Amino acid sequence: MQPGCLAKLFLRLVVLLGVALAVAACDGHRPAPSSVDVTQALGGEAEEGFERAMTVREFHFPADHGPHPEFRNEWWYITGHGRDERDNLYGFQITFFRIAIAPDAPRRASAWAGNQVWMAHAAVTDVASGLHLAAQRYSRAEPGLAGAAAAPFRVWLGDWQLTGLPEEGITGEAANGAAQGGLWHLSMAAEDFALELTFNPAKPVVLQGDRGLSQKSGSPGNASYYYSIPRLDTGGELTIGSGGDKRVIPVTGMSWLDREWGTSALGADQSGWDWFSLQLDSGRDLMFYRLRDTEGGMHGSSLGTWIEADGSSTVISPDDIRLTPLQWWRSPGGRRYPVSWSLNYPGAGADWIVRALLPDQEMNLAVIYWEGLVEVLEPESGRRLGLGYLEMTGY
Amino acid sequence: MKSHSCETGRRAPLLLDIRNLAFGYDGADTPVLADIDLSLAQGEVLALLGNSGCGKSTLLNLISGIEVARKGSVLIDGVEMIGLDDRSRTLKRRRDIGFIYQFFNLIPTLTALENIALVLELNGCSGAESTVLAMDALASVELQSRAGQYPDQLSGGEQQRVAIARALVHSPSLVLADEPTGNLDGRSGRRVMALLHELVAARGAGMILVTHSRDVAAGAHRILRLQDGHLRAGQGHLPEAHPSEAHPSEDGPAAW
Amino acid sequence: MVSALLLRSSARFYGRHRWQGLLSLAGIMLGVAVVIAVDLANESARRAFDLSLEAVAGRTTHRISGGPDGIPESVFIDLRAKLGLYRSAPVVTDYVRVSGRSYTLLGIDPLSELVLGRHSLGIEGDGDLPGLLDADTVLLAAGLAATLEVGEGGELLMDHRGRSLRARVGAVFSHGDEALAEGLILADIAVAQELLERAGTLDRIDLVLDDNQVGTLAEWLPAGLNLVESESRDQSLRRMTDNFHLNLTAMSLLALLVGGLLIHNTMTFSVLQRRQVWGACRALGATGREILALILAEALVFALAGTLLGLLLGIVLAQGLVGLVLGTVDDLYFVLAVREFYLAPRSLLEGAGLGLGITLLSVLVPALEAAKTPPASVLRRSHMELRARAMVPAALLAGAVMMAVGWWLAALDSDSVVMGFVALALLVIGFCVLVPPVVALLVRGTLVVAGTLFGPLVRMMLRGIEAGLSRTGLALAALSVAVAATVGMGIMVASFRTTLDTWLVQSLSGDIYISLPGYTSERPGAGLSPEWVQSLAQLPGIAAIERHRLVRAETAFGPVQVLAVAGVERRPGTLAAAAARLPLKAALPGAGERLRAGEGVLVSEPLAFQRGIEPGAEVTFDVEQGAVTLPVLGIFSDFRSPRGVIAMDRGLYRQLWKDDGISGLALYGDGALSRAELLDAVRKMAALQPRDIQIYSSAGIRERSMALFDRTFAVTAVLRLLTVLVAFIGILGALMLVQLERMRELAVLRATGMTARQVTALVLGQTALMGLMAGLLALPLGLLMADVLIHVINLRAFGWTLTAAIPYRVLLEALALALGAALLAGVYPAWRAGRVAPARLLREE
């Protein structure tokens, strides 16, 4: 990070408040390898005045799809894959981050005054072309430049938005009552790619951790509320390229929604995480986040969930699972990411290889991390068992 | 370069040979000099008599290459001066000719010693070499004690002695003296002439002595008269006259 | 290469002639110093301008600007959310005053700025960072904080259009480019809206757009808003300051010319003076090349020393000048955010190159001469003196041709300012070439015609002048040019002043003028309260009130000030007419009535000149109802704004812009009360208003305007003085040297029986005579320069037609200046001459 740049102001806001906004591209250059990463951004003490995830709470839908501004940070995270008519595989990702820079919204004459800022990241992976494109947006919330609402559902930052559609989703009997939010539509366009996708929940909401309370370190309150919808039937169009090279690709596939809010995240003894969301052809899903301690080992607060086809779930504790990096990829910025893993979860008889479909899926944005489409392979046969997303930070 | 050009002891048998030399200024009807034939042997002293404006000084300038004749030939040590470019003439002049003027023409901003050393420096001698040789030269005119004085701190006689030392320091084969006593009183004039003859003789150089004074001319081996631009025989050859025995009387009034 | 002894001899020469050495050095030093000073000041001003523009406008491709009321902030939200124009940044800005100086309060959205990649700052210390977005919190650059003597957490008191504001300094930031942040008070956009009372409104939206987006946006943009290329805006501003800088550069080149002549003169002289020495050296056997090298080496020493000193002096001078130059830019154009002195490496290099180059070049001619001339003629007599005389006819011809071409160029029908300056340069250089031969001819002529009339002493004086011309000619030319420059600039400034004053008298038809502070700034603000204006009208002693509105509007010509003049509320017996305030230069028949009827507009002269607008042309305005095209009824002379003013009837303005605001008032008394009484009554009423209201009598405005004018032109006065100073040193040197060289001659005169007093008189008389000639020659050139400056350069640069006024005082001053300089220069030699001991000097040689 270069000194003497406005980004520093925000970075320091970020560091002080421990929110996930850190912006480095202040002079138009791509951030240097020394640039801030998510772990740094999420470190630090929580600010007084924010609410904290202390106890198990009850979730109400669709209200909890909307914002929780009394917590410092919150995100709407959709990752997924799709295939075009020629069966080419694509990955995509959209994230809206909400960051409160002060606990209370001020009452002031100017409509621009407020306490919330937003950041959004999006990416698309074209496996056949070996292409990974990423983009970001940031904005203050006021006056109406970015925000979120539960009913009607809407999360937006400029013209990037995730909106609830009037028609009902295929809720089905499998859904556990009020958890469904219906159909959502994503619309975003960056300079060199765009996503126009509709999501339809195909599994009920899964509350992660202890009934939705996801402890991130030993100290109380250092936790978040966390739920997922592990399967969303997805259809729509990807646009890749710009100008004359623009390709509009109709796709259908499957997505995963993660929703999380809280006031602090990483403990001082944590250096980053590896987050897996895997959707198996058998209809079952696995989510596991490995929090790494400063030695690079598995931190005790790591946690996961095994989800059956009917939506019933089992908690995966760190002792239940073994994750071993097999292969590393070095980014142009000099970061080394493990892009091939051995995953051993005897609880479900899983002994897999989880491998990136494209090594270079680094999100080289203001905050640098790796987030990309992966496949789940059977080690002996090499048979593909499923697809998923992997997020790696702190490398 | 330095060792090559800093030569101060070299001799050649026939010194100067002038044939058919003529010179005139642009637009002037009568030439300043016409049909000059003159030769000078090594070690010979020639006195050139003539009245003011007869062309004596011009002749010296032609010989030294300060001015260039349109016609004729000037051979010094077998080198033809006419036809040489200015630079070559200058180089020839500074190596082989010593010049003494009526008005001394010392550089006012250099000391007596430096005035002498300048000639050596121009001939490529190093500063140290020059200083040693110049000091010797100054000693030969008995002015060691005035080495650090500027010209305007010296008397006329002293200045001319410095000029003599300067003219001889690089052991030129030819010395040209233009009214060397013209600006001096009788006493110092005699002293200067005695010194000049002695030093020229000691170095075996040839000398042309321009003067309008018979007494000064008396010390020469040969006297020629320059009249209306033509060279005529003077009043005979005085081969045995010893320079120190010449007793030039007091010159006429100062030239200006 | 060069003999050490010869170098030593040169050093001793200057050791003995210290005066000469010092003068040569002073010549080079002053020449270099003036050029560098002006160049540095210019460069600083230009950089300040660029940085200020960048600080305020940023590196964006386009901007959206609004009408008088700014832009509704909803437009920005739509841009982001509906059009997806992410690379966009809202700005709320206005000038505020702190401790009597204007600064730009810039309200930005930090995240949008991040997107555009500008205004990147580094925060010093561990401030309460989240607090930066708190209400009433501003950020100051470190330099500015130091200037204002407030630190982090301190309180900043600002004045905004007469309203006092209080803000907390949330942080002091360092900036990669400290100069850029120098004049900015930065605030979050919310804070700025609140401080400036602009909630809901933006002043502009800066954008980075590609071609497709431009089309889409232009189509979408609500009426009343304009999409402007930021480039073109910058360029129109830059063009105007460019002209200003060109004027200054011309002055510095003039100083350079004078300095160059001076350097040439002293160096030539020092070579000529020692021709005996060169001759002796040549006779001794020094080659021409050795002499050349010696003289060049000598010159190099002078050039290096003089240039170095000149650089130092120039930097010091420039510090003083830059304030004046920046002041002018401020007064004429806009408030600069950046005011830092900038040591432009290019200027320094240029100055150094000039000093070295000119010195070596000017010594090259005499040095070549000394080296090439055969030793015989060097010994014989002054070769150059003869050559100088032989050159007289050629110089006369060359000078005359140059001046003729210059004059022809000036008369050409062109609007190129540069061409104007080329013409001016040709006139001046031609003149320089002419001076020595003309002086020679003058002297000879005088001798022939009136030779017998004068006593031998005067004849001797005249001959002495002619004899020394090869050494004094150039110094004389330099003095002439410098004096001519003061005449030319003096006449130009005086003409400008007179014209401005006349215009003010014509324009200020009212008795009392009322406005809010910030009247001339680009955004109108809320204006005067209508109720208060109504109550003013009820005051006894007021015959009529004229309301006007001055706002900035986007037109096809770029941003232009629109002046809406009101229908006057008359009381019986008054004749105040709106159009009377706008002295017309050219108009269609019935322009006055048609203007009042709202059938057209008037265009100010600078705008008309720049855009080639003539009466009958059309102007298009972008207003809410769409594009409105109106005929230009006439051109009025205007010195308010070089950017142009369009005047129209207030009724038409209200109809087009739906703006009822009142920027200012002109009050007409009915004669019942004296002006002072009326002023008093109005002031009492104004005191009841919450806001600061400016009230001036028309005389007061005139006074203030003229004071502003004088301040603006202060820099030209300083430059004139500097140029004359350089010339003075030149003439001092040249005259002194010539006279000192003549000491022998004077000794002879003393010896032949002239008294000491006579000798002194001879020397003084001679220098005085030369000064007088230089002065007389300077007058025609000065008038010529004034003519070109007034009718060619000012017209082309600013579009201002000035009425030439020739103040005879300026002419007399010029003569006195030349005479004084010459006389002063003669004092020392005359004193020396009087004390010369004939015997000693005669003996010396």
Closest CA to C172 of C161, C185, C157, C160: C185
Set of chain C residues whose Cβ sits within 8 Å of the Cβ of A5: 120-122, 176
Set of chain B residues whose Cβ sits within 8 Å of the Cβ of C16: 109
> Is pLDDT of B79 > 70?
yes
Which partners does chain A have (≥3 C-beta pairs < 8 Å)?
C
Please report how many Cα atoms fall inside a 13 Å half-sphere around the Cα of residue A228, on the Cβ side: 25
Predicted confidence at residue C23, as pLDDT, reads 76
CB pairs under 8 A between A and C: 110
C193 touching A, CB under 8 A?
Answer: yes
Predicted confidence at residue A155, as pLDDT, reads 93
User: Between these two residues, C83 and C710, which has the higher pLDDT value?
Assistant: C83
Predicted confidence at residue C282, as pLDDT, reads 79
Closest CA to A57 of A197, A248, A261: A261
Please state the length of chain A: 395
User: Between these two residues, C807 and A342, which has the higher pLDDT value?
Assistant: A342
> Is pLDDT of B59 > 80?
yes
User: Between these two residues, A355 and B104, which has the higher pLDDT value?
Assistant: A355
**Tokens 């001469």 belong to residue:** C369
> Is pLDDT of A24 > 50?
no
Predicted confidence at residue A178, as pLDDT, reads 36
Question: Is the Cβ pair C5, B114 closer than 8 Å?
Answer: yes
Predicted confidence at residue A171, as pLDDT, reads 44
Set of chain C residues whose Cβ sits within 8 Å of the Cβ of A142: 190
Q: Residues of chain C with pLDDT > 70: what percent?
A: 78
User: Between these two residues, C603 and C758, which has the higher pLDDT value?
Assistant: C603
Q: Which residue of C has its CA nearest to A116?
A: C133
**Tokens 């003196």 belong to residue:** C385
C642 pLDDT band (50/70/90 cuts)?
low
Supply the angle between the helices C383-390 and C392-411 in degrees, to the nearest 10. 50
User: Between these two residues, C141 and A74, which has the higher pLDDT value?
Assistant: A74
CA distance C18 to chain B (A): 13
C141 touching A, CB under 8 A?
Answer: no
pLDDT digits (tens, 9 = 90+) for A280-302: 999 999 999 998 888 878 888 88
Residue B174 to residues B198, B242, C376, C446: CA-CA distances in angstroms? 14, 19, 19, 53
Predicted confidence at residue C844, as pLDDT, reads 43
Distance CA C368, CA C267 (A): 13
3-class secondary-structure state, position B223: strand
A276 pLDDT band (50/70/90 cuts)?
very high
- Averaged pLDDT, B200-206: 86
A250 bridge partner residues? A237
Hey, CA dihedral for A217, A218, A224, A227, is it positive or negative? Answer: positive
C211 touching A, CB under 8 A?
Answer: no
Token pair recorded at residue C557: 């010509």
- Mean pLDDT for all residues in chain B: 77
For domain C71-202, which architecture applies?
Beta Barrel (2.40)
For chain B, what are the domain ranges? 42-69+85-249
pLDDT digits (tens, 9 = 90+) for A139-156: 888 888 999 988 888 999
Rg (CA), chain B: 17
- Output the DSSP codes for A13-77: HHHHHT-S-----TTSSPPPTTS-BHHHHH-SPPPTTS----S-----TTGGGS--TTSSEEEEE
Tell me whether chains B and C touch (3+ CB pairs under 8 A): yes
Question: Is the Cβ pair B107, C286 closer than 8 Å?
Answer: no
**Which range, of A82-91, B9-18, B80-89, C65-74, averages the lowest pLDDT?**
B9-18
Q: Which residue of C has its CA nearest to A147?
A: C81
Please state the length of chain B: 256
Predicted confidence at residue C673, as pLDDT, reads 77
**Tokens 């919150």 belong to residue:** A74
pLDDT digits (tens, 9 = 90+) for C407-420: 888 888 777 777 88
Which partners does chain B have (≥3 C-beta pairs < 8 Å)?
C
**What letter does residue A245 receive in the DSSP assignment?**
G
pLDDT digits (tens, 9 = 90+) for A190-244: 989 999 999 988 888 899 888 888 887 777 778 889 999 999 999 999 999 887 7
Rg (CA), chain C: 33
> Is pLDDT of A173 > 50?
no
B222 touching C, CB under 8 A?
Answer: no
Strands of C522-625 (E only): list them.
542-555, 558-565, 584-587, 601-604, 618-623
A81 pLDDT band (50/70/90 cuts)?
very high
Closest CA to C519 of C354, C654, C401, C695: C695
Tell me whether chains A and B touch (3+ CB pairs under 8 A): no
Predicted confidence at residue B93, as pLDDT, reads 82
Distance CA B45, CA B42 (A): 9
> Is pLDDT of C290 > 80?
yes
User: Between these two residues, C521 and B120, which has the higher pLDDT value?
Assistant: B120
Distance CA A221, CA A45 (A): 11
Distance CA A179, CA A166 (A): 17
Topology (CATH level 3) of domain B42-69+85-249: Rossmann fold (3.40.50)
Distance CA C620, CA C610 (A): 16
Element (H, E) at A255: strand A247-262
In chain A, the domains with their CATH numbers are 11-392 (2.40.370.10)
Distance CA C361, CA C791 (A): 35
> Cα C274 from chain centroid?
43
Q: Which of C133, C172, C207, C209 to mutate to test the interface with A (most CBs of A within 10 A)?
A: C133
User: Between these two residues, C768 and C475, which has the higher pLDDT value?
Assistant: C768
Predicted confidence at residue B203, as pLDDT, reads 83
CA distance C400 to chain B (A): 32
Hey, CA dihedral for C793, C795, C798, C803, is it positive or negative? Answer: positive
End-to-end CA gap in chain B:
43
Count of C-beta atoms within a 10 Å radius of residue C604: 29
Predicted confidence at residue A82, as pLDDT, reads 95
pLDDT digits (tens, 9 = 90+) for C327-374: 655 554 444 545 566 677 877 888 888 788 878 887 887 788 777 766
Token pair recorded at residue C506: 């014509």
Candidates C12, C283, C287; nearest CB to B105: C283
3-class secondary-structure state, position A340: strand
Set of chain A residues whose Cβ sits within 8 Å of the Cβ of C184: none
CA distance B127 to chain C (A): 8
Distance CA A394, CA A274 (A): 9
Intervals of CATH 2.40.70 along chain C:
71-202
Distance CA C679, CA C542 (A): 11
Residue C219 to residues B176, C137, C626, C772: CA-CA distances in angstroms? 100, 38, 12, 71
pLDDT digits (tens, 9 = 90+) for C462-472: 777 777 776 67
Question: Is the Cβ pair C285, B61 closer than 8 Å?
Answer: no
Strands of C637-719 (E only): list them.
645-649, 664-669, 694-697
Candidates C4, C277, C290; nearest CB to B127: C4
CA distance A5 to chain C (A): 4
User: Between these two residues, B54 and A194, which has the higher pLDDT value?
Assistant: A194
Set of chain C residues whose Cβ sits within 8 Å of the Cβ of B171: none
Residue B187 to residues A111, B101, B105, B211: CA-CA distances in angstroms? 113, 18, 21, 17
Tell me whether chains A and C touch (3+ CB pairs under 8 A): yes
Element (H, E) at C97: strand C88-98
Candidates C13, C286, C374; nearest CB to B122: C286
Question: Is the Cβ pair B118, C277 closer than 8 Å?
Answer: no
Token pair recorded at residue C563: 């002046």
Closest CA to A298 of A343, A248, A255, A246: A343
Distance CA C679, CA B74 (A): 102
C622 φ, ψ (degrees, to nearest 5): -95, 110
3-class secondary-structure state, position C672: coil
Closest CA to C537 of C555, C562, C504, C514: C514
Question: Is the Cβ pair C129, A13 closer than 8 Å?
Answer: yes
Distance CA C745, CA C756 (A): 13
Window B:116-135, CB contacts with C under 8 Å: 117-119, 121-123, 127, 130
C246 pLDDT band (50/70/90 cuts)?
low
**Tokens 């690079």 belong to residue:** A296
Set of chain C residues whose Cβ sits within 8 Å of the Cβ of A145: 76-77, 80-81
Strands of C676-752 (E only): list them.
694-697
**What letter does residue C70 receive in the DSSP assignment?**
B
> Is pLDDT of C58 > 60?
no
- Mean pLDDT for all residues in chain C: 76
Q: Which residues contact A17 (CB under 8 A, 6 or more apart)?
A: A44, A47, A72, A99, A100, A101, C130
Question: Is the Cβ pair B99, C283 closer than 8 Å?
Answer: yes
pLDDT digits (tens, 9 = 90+) for C782-834: 898 888 888 887 777 667 777 778 888 888 888 888 888 888 878 887 887 77
Set of chain A residues whose Cβ sits within 8 Å of the Cβ of C84: 158-159, 189
Q: Which amino acid is at B212?
A: H
Q: Residues of chain C with pLDDT > 90: what percent?
A: 2
Q: Which of C129, C134, C138 to mutate to test the interface with A (most CBs of A within 10 A)?
A: C129
- Averaged pLDDT, A265-279: 80
Set of chain A residues whose Cβ sits within 8 Å of the Cβ of C82: 159
Q: Which residues contact C109 (CB under 8 A, 6 or more apart)?
A: A112, A140, C89, C90, C188, C189
> Is pLDDT of A91 > 90?
yes
- Mean pLDDT for all residues in chain A: 80
**Which range, of A180-194, A198-212, C5-19, averages the lowest pLDDT?**
C5-19
Token pair recorded at residue A154: 């809407």
**Tokens 């914002």 belong to residue:** A67
Cβ atoms of residues A363 and A242 within 8 Å: no
B100 touching C, CB under 8 A?
Answer: no
Residues in chain C whose Cβ is within 8 Å of chain B = 3-6, 8-10, 12-13, 15-16, 276-277, 279-290, 374-376, 379, 844-845
Count of C-beta atoms within a 10 Å radius of residue C411: 12
pLDDT digits (tens, 9 = 90+) for C649-668: 888 888 887 777 777 888 88
Distance CA A361, CA A104 (A): 37
Cβ atoms of residues C409 and C425 within 8 Å: no
Candidates B68, B87, B152; nearest CB to C288: B87
> Cα B40 from chain centroid?
13
A92 pLDDT band (50/70/90 cuts)?
very high
Q: Which residues contact C381 (CB under 8 A, 6 or more apart)?
A: none
